[in-house]
Structure 1
Amino acid sequence: MIVFEFKVKAKPAQYAAIDEAIRTAQFVQNKCLRYWIDNEGIDKYDLNKYCRVLAKEFSFAGELNSQARQSSAERAWSAISRFYENCRNKIKGNIGFPRFKKNCRSVEYKTSGWKLSENRKAITFSDKKGIGRLKLKGTYDLLFYSIDQIKRVRLVRRADGYYAQFAVKANIRIKTQPTGRAIGLDLGIKYFLADSTGHTEESPQFYRQSERQLNRANRKKSKKYQKGAKPQSNNYQKACCRYARKHLRVSRQRKEYCKRVAYSVIQSNDLVAYVDAPAACRRLDLNVKGLVRNRHLSKSISDAGWSTFRRWLEYFGHKYGKVTVAVPPHYTSQDCPECHHRVKKSLSQRTHSFTSFEDMVCGNCGYVEDRDIAASLNILQKGLSTVGHTGTYAWGDLPSWTVGAILSSNGESEKKVSPAF
């Protein structure tokens, strides 16, 4: 699947119709979740049938396209199936019981309820929500693909406006000349990544660079909040929108940076071995939500963008026919890459050493190296030993970007503040 995104230009009444469609999709999703909670033995097909019942019972639900209602039911079932999977795998801690949605920002159509113009520069929605014809602003050329290849259309509301996403089923494989190189990557906080060749990439820290502006915008928003007022004033809504736009800019900066670094790594190597916290969170206690509870490192961990980098790394690896290997993180920063002697080190000890902190020399073989680079060498060794035995994904999981046909957020901001248009 390839996802093309366009900015939507329309009239205020059409924006209001999109908001109504999004609210209806959220209503259907929550109703399907409640139906699953109240009835035992419900499966995916029962939820799809329940959408027809909702359309007859609630007139505003019947105004939404039938396949759009089914997409909302599929979203509910996606959360339910993930909960079942966590129960089967006996995940410790929060097993992810499905929750009711409060701030949905998108509605998704399948193959009906919409029609593209002849030049593919506009799209018309034919359900009874009154969205009508929307102009598409973007540089992608949809004329290259047939209508049958477009499997999903999604309307997304963000802080700076509305967008239309198209999921196109197409072959994205591109043949490239082999480089004959393999590399191991270690993601961290001191460096965004350190590879097995000794190269390090500094962390850009986009959030910390914009922190003063974000705090200022947040204070201005808080000053306009009136306790007990429903609804809040227009000035408060405008302040919320300005605050959300600043967060959206930071998330887009992080996404483009991760995208550029991942592309460079894939183009320069034939095999990339990596380990990160999101890859291990389903089977280990090493998870991002747990890591950000550390009040000294929470901002840096959230600002690193490890999950975004991993998604783009796997995507480019699939696109250009390169092997990406996710290896377990066990003792990658504790073992010596030369003699494999193991001694645990604290996070404050940044140089690979097995005697005292002042010596900085391995007590077993005399090897000296930065902690992150030594970890990347261990990751590369694990990755090379994994290929040919368990496949290119050592955890046994598919790449995160290939799971499901529902469009992903592509690393965009998920702030709880919604603008008022």
Structure 2
Amino acid sequence: MIVYEFKAVINKQQTMAIEEAIRTTQFIRNKCLRFWMDNQKIKPYDLNKYTAVLAKEFEFADKLNSMARQAAAERVAFAIKRFFDNCKAKIPGKKGYPQFQKNNRSVEYKTCGWKLSQDRKYITFTDKCSIGKVKLKGTYDLHFYQLKQIKRVRIVRRADGYYIQFCIDAERNLDLQPTGKTIGIDVGLNHFYKDNEGNQVENPRYLRKSEKAIIRLQRRVSKKQKGSSNRKKAIKRLRKKHLKVSLQRKDHAVKLARCVVRNSDFVAYEDLKVRNMVRNSKLAKSINDASWSLFTSWLSYFSRVFGKVVVAVPPQYTSQNCSNCGETVKKSLSVRTHICKCGCVLDRDENAARNILAKGLKLAGYLTYPGEQGNDNALGENPLYLTLETRLSKGTH
């Protein structure tokens, strides 16, 4: 599935119509959630049928396209399924019980309720919400795909306006020649990451760089009278600043993950529990600013696009164990150099990256970990890993 996004060029009347459609979507979603709470043995198909009942009962709900109402019900079904999956998997902490939505920002259409112009630069929404014809501003060309491949169309509200997203049923597979390179990545706060060869990428710290501007905008919001138009304008400027920071993080994560996966055949990274790590009040802001989860999720995505191997490794003892002999060398966070009695002296993060790579290769079945029997291909003795190259060439990863 490929998602193309365009900026929507609309007038004031269309803005009001889109907002009404978004509120209707939120209303239907919350009604379906309440219906499930009162009848927990129902199936997802029953939620779809309930949207038709809501359309007959409420006149404003009938204005929204029938498939858009079903898409709102599917959001509830997905939240319910995720909750039960987390319960079955016995995930520690909160399981994500479905909650009522208070600030919905999107409305989703399926295969009807909209119509593209012949030049694919305009889209017309044909339901009773009266959104009408919307100009699409962007660089993507929708002529490459047939109309039947467009499975979903979303209208998304952001701080800087409204966007139209097209979900296209198309596979994005790019075949690349094997490079014979393997990489282990240790993410951190001093540097965004350091690999097993000592190469490092600096942490951009977008939130820290914009913190003064954000504080100034927050102060302006607090000085405005509640409910006034000036306060709304100040809030909008603050939202735009936060949106810019989030877009900068995404752009950095996407470009960096793409570069890492393209230039390597095998990538191993730490499977960090960021949700637990941000409980540290002294490091929470820096951890969130680093956006490790965003980076690793894009690593997994590009591994499917380019047909490469990406493995998540448990982070336990990757910093404490020696990458050369496997001996445990305990050290605090303030100690940045790994010194082992076997003579191995490395930067702490580089040592961890080597351990992550070795663990990843072991999990994938390519290598034995340092210190174990049968360690003929230990880390650092055969950098090409012939078994890995063979499997990649045969496509058996």
Q: Tell me, what secondary structure is at the counterpart of 1:107? A: strand
Distance in 2 separating the partners of 1:334 and 1:43: 49
The aligned counterpart of 2:19 is: 19
Q: Tell me, what secondary structure is at the counterpart of 2:269? A: strand
Equivalent residues of 1:221, 1:240 under 8 A apart: yes
Q: 1:322 aligns with which of 303, 308, 311?
A: 308
Q: Does 1:382 align with 2:359?
A: yes
Distance in 2 separating the partners of 1:153 and 1:204: 34
Q: Tell me, what secondary structure is at the counterpart of 2:134? A: strand
The aligned counterpart of 1:282 is: none
Q: Tell me, what secondary structure is at the counterpart of 2:307? A: coil
Distance in 1 separating the partners of 2:82 and 2:124: 34
Distance in 2 separating the partners of 1:111 and 1:379: 45
Letter in 1 for 2:143: L
Q: Does 1:268 align with 2:263?
A: yes
> What is the TM-score when the length of structure 2 is the normalising length?
0.90
1:335-365: CA deviations, max 9, x gaps? Answer: 111111124432222222xxxxxxxx213x1
Q: 1:237 aligns with which of 222, 232, 235?
A: 232
1:105-144: CA deviations, max 9, x gaps? Answer: 1111111101100000000001111101000000000011
Q: Does 1:142 align with 2:120?
A: no
The aligned counterpart of 1:119 is: 119
Equivalent residues of 1:28, 1:73 under 8 A apart: yes
Equivalent residues of 2:274, 2:293 under 8 A apart: no
1:289-330: CA deviations, max 9, x gaps? Answer: 332221211111010011211122122221111111112222
Distance in 2 separating the partners of 1:225 and 1:337: 60
Equivalent residues of 1:224, 1:236 under 8 A apart: yes
Q: 1:371 aligns with which of 321, 332, 348?
A: 348
Q: Tell me, what secondary structure is at the counterpart of 2:323? A: coil
Report which structure shows greater RCO (CA 8 Å, sep ≥6): 1
Distance in 1 separating the partners of 2:130 and 2:75: 24
Letter in 2 for 1:320: F
The aligned counterpart of 1:259 is: 254
Q: Does 1:345 align with 2:322?
A: no
Aligned-pair CA distance for 1:153: 0.5
Distance in 1 separating the partners of 2:210 and 2:201: 20
Q: Does 1:246 align with 2:241?
A: yes
Question: Identity rate of aligned residues, in percent?
Answer: 56
The aligned counterpart of 2:131 is: 131
The aligned counterpart of 2:369 is: none
RMSD: 1.3
Q: Tell me, what secondary structure is at the counterpart of 2:98? A: coil
Q: Tell me, what secondary structure is at the counterpart of 2:22? A: helix
Aligned-pair CA distance for 1:212: 0.2
Letter in 2 for 1:183: I
Q: Structure 1: 5+ residue runs without aligned partners?
A: 227-231, 278-286, 353-360, 390-421
Deviates most, 336-345 or 60-69: 336-345
Q: Does 1:204 align with 2:204?
A: yes
Letter in 1 for 2:334: S
- The equivalences for 1:87-126 within 5 A come to 87-126=87-126
Q: Does 1:293 align with 2:271?
A: no
Q: Does 1:310 align with 2:305?
A: no
> What is the TM-score when the length of structure 1 is the normalising length?
0.85
Distance in 1 separating the partners of 2:337 and 2:66: 59
Equivalent residues of 2:5, 2:166 under 8 A apart: yes
1:202-221: CA deviations, max 9, x gaps? Answer: 10000000000000001101
The aligned counterpart of 1:398 is: none
Equivalent residues of 1:186, 1:276 under 8 A apart: no
Letter in 2 for 1:32: C
Letter in 2 for 1:47: L
Aligned-pair CA distance for 1:388: 4.8
The aligned counterpart of 1:50 is: 50
Distance in 1 separating the partners of 2:82 and 2:267: 28
Distance in 1 separating the partners of 2:66 and 2:224: 41
Aligned length: 366
Equivalent residues of 1:187, 1:276 under 8 A apart: no
Aligned-pair CA distance for 1:18: 0.6
Distance in 2 separating the partners of 1:366 and 1:26: 62
Distance in 1 separating the partners of 2:225 and 2:315: 46
